[in-house]
Amino acid sequence: MRGCRFSIILAWCLVVLAPLASAQSRKPGLWTITTTVNYPPSGDGAAGHPTTAGPTNTNMCLTQALIDKYGAPLPQIQDCKITSFNKKANSVNAEMVCSGVTMAKVTMESTWTADHATGSVHVVTTAPRAMEWTSNSTSVFKSADCGSVQPYPMPAQ
C-alpha cells in the first residue's frame, strides 16, 4: 500500500512540475540570428527551384519585457498591425496585415528553449507588386550583456 501511495504522490509531482520545466523562458540578452530567405520559383529561369538568399547573421538584443510579452521578436514592418497572436510557454504564432504603401499578409511562428530558437516568417504581398517569400531563422543565446547592440523595439500595436 505504501508503494502505491508513493507512486501516486510521485505521479502527482511529475504532473505539477512538468509544465514548470517546459515553461522555461528564453534568456534575455544578446542573441545571434542566422536567417535564410526563400523565394518561390518565378518561372523565368528558376526551373522549378526556389531562389535562396543568405544565410545572414545578425546580433539582436532581447529584453525581458519583450520576451515576457511576445516571446520572440516580431517583424517590424511599417503600416502593419498584429491581427492574431497566440503565445504559449515555448512558442508563438502571429499574423499581421499591412495596409500602407505595401499591402501584405505576414504569418510568423517561433519556438524556443532558454538558449536556442527557430522561427519562420512568411510574407505575401499584393501591392505595389505581388510577391511571396519565407525567411527561416535559428537563434543562439550569446550573452546576458548586449554590449553596444541596442534592444529590439517592442512592436507597435
Please state the domain extents for the chain. Answer: 25-143
Rounded-to-integer distance, Cα 97 and Cα 81, Å: 6
Render pLDDT for 19-39 as a digit per residue (tens, 0 to 9).
333 345 899 999 999 999 998
Residues paired with 115 in a beta bridge: none
Give pTM, 2 decimals: 0.76
Look at the alpha carbons of 7, 10, 12, 14 in this order and tell me if their dihedral is positive or negative.
Answer: negative
Identify the pLDDT of residue 3: 38
**CATH no. for 25-143:** 2.40.128
Q: Tell me what the mean pLDDT of segment 41-52 comes to.
A: 62
